[in-house]
Structures are given as C-alpha cells and as structure tokens.
Chain A
Amino acid sequence: MNHNFHLVVDNVDKRFDTKQGEFIAIRDINLRVSRGEFVALIGHSGCGKSTLLNLIAGLTTPSDGVLICAGREISGPGPDRGVVFQNHSLLPWLTCFQNVFLAVERVFGGKESKSQLNARTEAALNMVGLSHAMHKHPNEVSGGMKQRVGIARALSIEPAALLLDEPFGALDALTRAHLQDELLRIVAETKSTVVMVTHDVDEAVLLSDRIVMMTNGPSATIGEILDVKLARPRERIALADDPEYHHYRKAVVEFLYAKQKRAA
C-alpha cells in the first residue's frame, strides 16, 4: 500500500536513554515522500529534525516504527541514500576528485571499468561546476566549493534519495544563495528525491514542494505540512515580489514564531 511513495516514515519514535531517564526526541512521525519530490524539514533547533534525517540516513535506528526507502526497509546506512553533511565531511588527505571517486568506486566499482568510474566522477564534479578545481585538496578550496564537492559525492552514486542536513548553514549569505540556485538546477536536472533539513525560511520556500514544520522538542512531532505550489523553474529575483511566495513565507514564519514560540 505504501508502494506509491518513494520514501515512507511510518509511526516513528526515537528515544534516547540518558542519565535522567528516557528522553523522547521525536514521536509519531508519519511522512510520505513521492519520487522526485523536494521536502524541507524546518523547526527550531532541538526539534529533532536532524534526528529524523539521521533515521532516514540509517545512521540511527528508530525506537518504534518503520522507515522505507524505494520499497525496502531502512535497516542501516547505505549508498542508496546520498547524504550531504552540514560540515562537508570531506577527507582532507584526498583531492576533491578522490573524495567523489571513493563513493563512485564503492557503488559502481564491481560493475564498471576504471575509465567509466573516472567519467562518472568527472561528470558529478562538472555538474556542481567544479571541473577546474577537482584535483585540489579540500583545504585549498572555499567553503562553498567544499559543500559542492559534498553534493557531488552524494549525487555521484545515483541515490534513490538525497538527504541534506543543513547543507548551507555554515556558508555566508551570498554563497548560500548561489548554492541554493545551483541546487534548484541540479535537482531539476537529476529529478532527485530530496529531504533537506534547514532553519532558513526562505531556503525552504524557494526549494521545496512541501515544508514539514516540526513542533518544539522534547518529544517533537510534525506540526504542520505546507504545500508550496510555486511553479518551477523558480527564479529568486522574480519570487522576491511574488505575493504567493510571501504567503508561503508568512505561513512558515507564523508557525515558527507564533505557534511554536520559543523562550530563547
């Protein structure tokens, strides 16, 4: 019955054992993501949005409930899901090319020749606009470029789902905007299914088909889901004075700052 959906999160709870007893991070999470859909998870810090993403990535296992990706239960991390971490997580002793190649080799190594693997790696780096810097080491390129390599690594393995954990959180505003535009283009090209954790309202509205808004933790859950029906391709400048865009933006801001107000 769930086979129409690409990614299914069914009644998922995640509890942690702490010294003070059991801590309920998230509870009763139900989410269905269609193939090619872009979903943003938004909420205040500590609302468990990264916990949910880690569950989908398989880095942690749910205390209750089931997660399914492309028809198979998620029982651990695997290369059918490409993950982009907030802090790029590139291996500093490998060049950008080698970092992506490591992933490509893992997934396609048994089936394809060396030259095919190289071509895949180059194609992935080319897609994020890094052909010129692919033989540099991560410490020789800018923060934005590192994050591009992270995206290239995640996409190079042709994952069933792309999982982004605040991918642009550590970047300056201009670089962030630039990479958001790039991501829009790449996702349109690759028709990827994406789940992205963010705390940036504009980013969520600009990129997503649906925005999943989470209540405050502990024992956080999904508060509201907003369908963003802005036409694609989306243009940042055109949307700047689009009333529809502002309507969506306001809905998210209201949820975050009126309904889930936080004593900061």
Chain B
Amino acid sequence: MSASLTIDGAAAPKLTGGEAVSTSSVHDAVAKSDVLSSETKLAAAARESDIAQRTRRRRELLKSFVQTAFPGLIGVLLFLLLWQGISILSPQLPGPAKVWDSAVKLFADPFYSKSPNDQGIGWNVLSSLKRVGIGFGLAALVGIPLGFMLGRFVFLNRMAEPIISLLRPVSPLAWLPIGLMVFKAANPAAIWVIFICSIWPMIINTAVGVQRIPQDYLNVARVLNLSEWKIFTKILFPAVLPYMLTGVRLSIGVAWLVIVAAEMLTGGVGIGFWLWDEWNNLNMEHIIIAIFVIGIVGLLLESALIWIAKRFQFD
C-alpha cells in the first residue's frame, strides 16, 4: 500500500504525512479496544488509503488543470483586456461586453428567415458549410483516386507534376471568374472555388502516402502473392490512410478559409456574405461575432478531423 502511495514523487511528502495520521488513528482504536480484530484494522487502513488515494487523484487533476488549461485561460483574459483597452482608445470598435450583448440577442433566434437576404446566423453558417461540403466532397472524390494513381505510376506523376506545381499556388479567388463564366450562377461558382483549392492537398498527400509505403509491407504482398484487390484493401489503403487524412484536414482548413472570401464576392446566404452585409450596415458588433463564429467553426472542423485521424494512427 505504502509503495503504491509513494510512487508519485511530487505527491509523496504530503502523503507520508497523511499516512502518519492514519496509523496513529488506528493506534487510538487499538488502545480503546483490545479485542479489535486484525480484519477491522485492515479495513480501517484500507479506508484511510482510499481517502488518501482520492485526495491524491484530486490533487493530480488540479495540477494538470493548472498546467494545461490555466495558461490558456490567462491568455484569453489578456486578450479580452487588450481588446477592451483598444475599444476605449478607438470608440468605433465595440468592446467585449457590447459584442456579448449583441451576440446574446443574435443567438436567441439563429434560424429565422425573413427574406432571401435576411436570415438567421444559423442558416448563414449552415449554407456556408453546405457549399464547403459539396465542393470539398467533389474534390475528395476526384483528388484521392487521382493521388493514388499519381503515387502508383511514376509516368503519370511526372506528367501531372508541372501542371500541379503551376496551378497549386494560384490564389483561390482567381478561379472565381472562370466559375462564374462557366456556371453562370453564384452558388456553383463558389462551390467550384472550394473544389479547386481543396483538391491539391488531397492529391499531393495521397500521392506521397502511396510513394512512402514501407517496402516491407510490399514485400509481404509479394511473398504471399496477394491479389491486387487484397493489396489495395489490406496494404495500400490502410498504409495511405494517415497521409490521406492529413490531406483532407489541410483541404478542409483551406476550404473554410476560402468560402468566406468567395461568399463576400458572390453574395447569397452564407457567413461570408453575412459579414459583408453587416459591414454595409456598419454593424461592427456583428462583424466581430462573425469573425468568432468563423474561427470556432474552423476549429471544430479541424478538431473533428484530427480526432478521426487519431483513430487510424497505428504506430
């Protein structure tokens, strides 16, 4: 029992003190009654150690909280203070309290729909997400198989390399006029922009993943003479999956960055358009809320994909 208590170096001094108390209380009990059986003594000791263990666990929780969450909290507080300070110096910028009040009102009814151009923030976020989903989904549908092919066949890779290197650094919004011209509508043009900017990380990461499959795994396939289908399902796909998911994560980050900008230009319903609309209304509170909403949604998308990626990490 004592061995298990003293394992944790940091908690040891306090705990030995606690144990001293526990043994002395057992001694008291013995003095009161000589006929106390050894079993009751053991039970008492066990109870004491149980309490000691619980306090230790609580202390560890507190310690990990202080080490991880606390600095973050300080950071947020400092940020709010700075924001408050700037808003005092520059009165056009609303302070945290004003924005909070406005946000409470705004989120009281996020799903109203008065007219095509006047809808709740919930609808705006959802329609942005829908565009990202469609554009990104199409990009995955095209990009991932393409990445597999480029990774597997050197000739194709060399063929595609100059085009990819040339088109990848192009700013996503530069693609918008082409989308508008081809589709003659704002919504598919925005989806097109998402598609074209989120396809590159998926192609490249998938291709790199295929190229980096350890030779050992391929040797297993060769030695066993596995069929192409088995090689794909049992070796290629699982081996490439982590790379692919990295590509997906980068893509969705880019897609969410770009949708806001694209919607500012195309209009309609969407968080980017809403932000621009509030700028035209000179509603600074809503602009700041939009920034936070964009940030939080982006964070959630990223975390979700990191969570998925972790489930497929093997080493």
Interface string of B188-225 (1 = CB under 8 A from A): 00000000000000000000000000001101101111
A137 and B238 alpha carbons, distance in the complex (Å): 14
B54 within 8 Å of A (CB atoms): no
Chain A residue at minimum C-beta to C-beta distance from B226: A106
Residues of chain A in range 66-82 having any CB-CB distance to chain B below 8 Å? 76-79, 81-82
Minimum Cβ distance to chain A for residue B210 (Å): 16
A76 and B315 alpha carbons, distance in the complex (Å): 31
Do B219 and A89 have beta carbons less than 8 Å apart?
A: yes
A87-B216, A93-B314, A139-B314 as given contacts; A78 in contact with B225, CB under 8 Å? yes
Q: Which residues of A contact B312 (CB under 8 A)?
A: 93
Q: Which residues of B contact A93 (CB under 8 A)?
A: 238, 312, 314
A251 within 8 Å of B (CB atoms): no
A169 within 8 Å of B (CB atoms): no
A59, A77, A106, A137: the one within 8 Å of B230 (CB): A106
Interface string of A47-74 (1 = CB under 8 A from B): 0000000000101000000000000000
A76 and B225 alpha carbons, distance in the complex (Å): 9
Chain A residue at minimum C-beta to C-beta distance from B220: A89
Minimum Cβ distance to chain B for residue A199 (Å): 20
B59 within 8 Å of A (CB atoms): no
A107 and B230 alpha carbons, distance in the complex (Å): 13
A99 and B151 alpha carbons, distance in the complex (Å): 25
Do B226 and A91 have beta carbons less than 8 Å apart?
A: no
Chain B residue at minimum C-beta to C-beta distance from A98: B234
B45 within 8 Å of A (CB atoms): no
Q: Which residues of B contact A76 (CB under 8 A)?
A: 222, 225
Chain B residue at minimum C-beta to C-beta distance from A163: B223
B261 within 8 Å of A (CB atoms): no
A89-B217, A103-B224 as given contacts; A94 in contact with B234, CB under 8 Å? yes
Do B223 and A77 have beta carbons less than 8 Å apart?
A: yes
Q: Which residues of B contact A89 (CB under 8 A)?
A: 216-217, 219-220
Minimum Cβ distance to chain B for residue A119 (Å): 19
A223 within 8 Å of B (CB atoms): no
B235 within 8 Å of A (CB atoms): yes
Residues of chain B in range 21-75 having any CB-CB distance to chain A below 8 Å? none
Minimum Cβ distance to chain B for residue A204 (Å): 24
A89 and B220 alpha carbons, distance in the complex (Å): 7
A77 and B220 alpha carbons, distance in the complex (Å): 10
A139 and B230 alpha carbons, distance in the complex (Å): 22
A145 within 8 Å of B (CB atoms): no
Q: Which residues of A contact B315 (CB under 8 A)?
A: 92, 139
Q: Which residues of A contact B224 (CB under 8 A)?
A: 77, 79, 102-103, 106-107, 157
Interface string of B102-138 (1 = CB under 8 A from A): 0000000000000000000000000000000000000
A121 and B230 alpha carbons, distance in the complex (Å): 18
Do A57 and B314 have beta carbons less than 8 Å apart?
A: no
Do A102 and B230 have beta carbons less than 8 Å apart?
A: yes
A85 within 8 Å of B (CB atoms): yes
Q: Which residues of B contact A139 (CB under 8 A)?
A: 314-315
Interface string of B224-249 (1 = CB under 8 A from A): 11100010001100100000000000
Q: Which residues of B contact A92 (CB under 8 A)?
A: 314-315
Q: Which residues of A contact B234 (CB under 8 A)?
A: 91, 94, 102
Q: Which residues of B contact A9 (CB under 8 A)?
A: none
Q: Which residues of B contact A107 (CB under 8 A)?
A: 224
A242 and B235 alpha carbons, distance in the complex (Å): 48
Q: Which residues of B contact A77 (CB under 8 A)?
A: 222-225
Chain A residue at minimum C-beta to C-beta distance from B314: A92
A83 within 8 Å of B (CB atoms): yes
Do B222 and A59 have beta carbons less than 8 Å apart?
A: yes
Identify 11 residue pairs between A and B in the complex whose beta-carbon atoms are under 8 Å apart, listed by A's number: A59-B222, A77-B222, A77-B225, A78-B225, A82-B223, A87-B216, A89-B217, A92-B315, A106-B225, A137-B314, A139-B314
Residues of B within 8 A of A (CB): 216-217, 219-220, 222-226, 230, 234-235, 238, 312, 314-315
User: 17 extra interchain contacts, Cβ-Cβ under 8 A, other than A85-B220, A89-B219, A91-B234?
Assistant: A57-B223, A59-B219, A76-B225, A77-B225, A78-B223, A78-B225, A79-B224, A85-B219, A92-B314, A92-B315, A93-B314, A94-B234, A102-B224, A102-B230, A102-B234, A107-B224, A139-B315
